[in-house]
Amino acid sequence: MRAPFPRWRAMGDAALLVELGDEIDERLNARVHALAAQLATAPGLECIPGYASLLVEFDPDILSQEKLETAIAHALEQPMAAAQAKPRVVEIPTRYGGEWGPDLDFVARRNGLTPAQVVEIHTRCPLRVFMLGFTPGFPYIGPLPAKIAAPRLETPHTHVPAGAVGIAGRQTGIYPRESPGGWQIIGHTDLILFDPTRDPPTLLAPGDYVRFVAVDR
């Protein structure tokens, strides 16, 4: 039987997976990032935020699992800090469709929309960066309105270019570098998502918001 949320379980002998829920939800995700911030003063930790979870890597010789669990339980008992100063909204100039968005027509057809309508919905509102992962700087952004959701490709693209903007389910994301990819590619941005010579090395951070902006090809 599964324990209710919040719950935590060991991932090996030096990491704890703290699960706050099991859905893609902005408030839940905000709680994840707030927990990471609360743990920032504890020694020897590295936290990796997920949609609704936080992986806490720790050094048992610096901080015992027991003390860490106590700190987590205590942090979660605190009411979440009042909404911080307005989060950043980063504009993402995007060329949609054509050679830059080979899957835009499919996403439109699947949802009974025109490509222009898909673009309008994709660019309508600021969307939250829930987490980064998969590759350095890759943002998991959403939630998209269900009207433009689309499943991953059955056969992934072998080469998705750096800057490709994609959709998978109700998530949207941007590929920081060329790689194979299973997301529906609807557009492209020239923005650099990851530069290891800079500090911080990524354009976007978890908790940021983005606004896609359609630009001419």
Summarize as ranges the residues that interact with another protein (CB under 8 A).
2, 9-15, 17, 19, 22-24, 36, 46-55, 57, 60-61, 65, 131-138, 140, 177, 194, 196-197, 200-202, 205-206
In whole angstroms, how far apart are CA 115 and each of 3, 19, 104, 122? 44, 37, 6, 11
Task: Map tokens 């194979």 to a residue.
Answer: 180
| In the complex, least distance from residue 139 CB atom to another protein, rounded to whole angstroms | 9
Give residue 88's identity as a one-letter amino acid code: R
Cβ distance to another protein smaller for residue 100 or 194:
194
The smaller minimum CB distance to another protein, of residues 110 and 177, is found at: 177
CA–CA distance, 53 with 56 (Å, rounded to integer): 10
β-bridge mates for residue 54, sequence order: 18, 49
Report the nearest approach of another protein to the CB of residue 167 (Å): 15
CB 144 within 8 A of CB 130: no
Residues 32, 50: Cα–Cα separation, whole Å: 8
Q: How far is the CB of 60 from another protein (least distance, A)?
A: 5
Angstrom CA distances, 203 to 66, 71, 131, 173, 192, stand at 36, 31, 13, 13, 7
CB 39 to another protein: min, Å: 12
Closer by beta carbon to another protein, 119 or else 149: 149
Q: C-alpha angle with apex 35: 49 to 33, nearest 5 degrees? A: 45
Between residues 102 and 169, which has the closer beta carbon with respect to another protein? 169
Measured from the CB atom, the residue of 187 and 206 that comes closer to another protein is 206
- Is residue 81 within 8 Å of 58, Cβ to Cβ? no
Distance of closest approach, residue 211 Cβ to another protein, in angstroms: 21
**Cβ contact 92:213 at 8 Å:** yes
Q: Which is nearer to another protein, 55 or 113 (CB)?
A: 55
Taking the alpha carbons of 205, 211, 216, 217 in that order, is the dihedral positive or negative?
positive
CB of 9 to another protein, least distance (A): 4
